[in-house]
Amino acid sequence: QITLKESGPTLVKPTQTLTLTCTFSGFSLSTTGVGVGWIRQPPGKALEWLALIYWDDDERYSPSLKSRLTITKNTSKNQVVLTMTNMDPVDTATYYCAHRTPITMVRAFDYWGQGTLVTVSS
Amino acid sequence: EIVMTQSPAALSVSPGEGATLSCRASQSVSSSLAWYQQKPGQAPRLLIYGASTRATGIPARFSGSGSGTEFTLTISSLQSEDFAVYYCQQYDNWPPALTFGGGTKVEIK
């Protein structure tokens, strides 16, 4: 059974760096083909993909946010960490981590965490 | 970056009726298209990938079609649990990005 759970601060100040941790179970990030991504959703708005890391340490980022994002993995702890620098109130959103389906060539997400709401405010 | 446009933004449907949701890509994404369902306060659920393949456990009343730039999600005979927001997502343009549409809200009429 695959589960994911996001953790991190619920409130950050503008200009601060956000660090979110995704702790998962039911799969290993050392298995070929496995990936974990981050997706966010501002209140009442659509989903936005942020980043994705693969079993082989390949990292991919949203072009519009690439300069602010870093995604890393700790295979032994079953965790993926996302950092986002220079936070702004427009970054207020629910942040989800998700398991990329292992189906070959399909970059969609079949298991999602419950999400964590991050508010950016002074 | 490929832009995904969904229409309509909202759709009112009576239980038992069918619904057709559209998703258009600003350039061809082949069949690299997924659909998700999201209910209030919940994470999205993967319904369809490869434009037309149902994900594990998804009822047969959900079907996807299309390729290139035009895609459709059809829900036959809506059940109460189907009223939700639906998002399409392309994964063909890689790199640089995975992109989601703006969503279609299916409401009870």
**Do residue A47 and residue B87 have CB atoms under 8 angstroms apart?**
yes
pLDDT for residue B12? 96
Question: Under a CB-based contact definition with an 8 Å cutoff, are residues B1 and B93 in contact?
Answer: yes
Nearest to A62 by CA among A95, A89, A32, A30: A95
Q: What is the mean pLDDT of residues B85-103?
A: 88
Which tokens hold the place of A11? Answer: 């409130």
A51: pLDDT strictly greater than 80: yes
Q: What is the mean pLDDT of residues A40-64?
A: 95
- Chain B's closest residue to A42, CA to CA, is B102
A29: pLDDT strictly greater than 70: yes
A101: pLDDT strictly greater than 90: no
Other Cβ atoms less than 10 A from the Cβ of A8: the count is 16
pLDDT for residue B96? 61
Question: Cα angle at A96 between A112 and A75, to 5 degrees?
Answer: 75
Provide the pLDDT confidence category of residue A102 given band limits of 50, 70 and 90: confident
pLDDT for residue B11? 96
**DSSP 8-class letter at A77:** G
Mean of per-residue pLDDT scores for chain A: 96
**Do residue A96 and residue B43 have CB atoms under 8 angstroms apart?**
yes
Decide: helix, strand or coil at residue B95.
coil
Note whether A35 contacts B: Cβ–Cβ < 8 A. no
Chain A nearest C-alpha distance from B57 (Å): 11
Q: Hunting for tokens 């994964």 — which residue is that? A: B91
Chain A from 96 to 115: CB within 8 A of any B CB: 96, 98, 101, 103, 105-110, 112-115
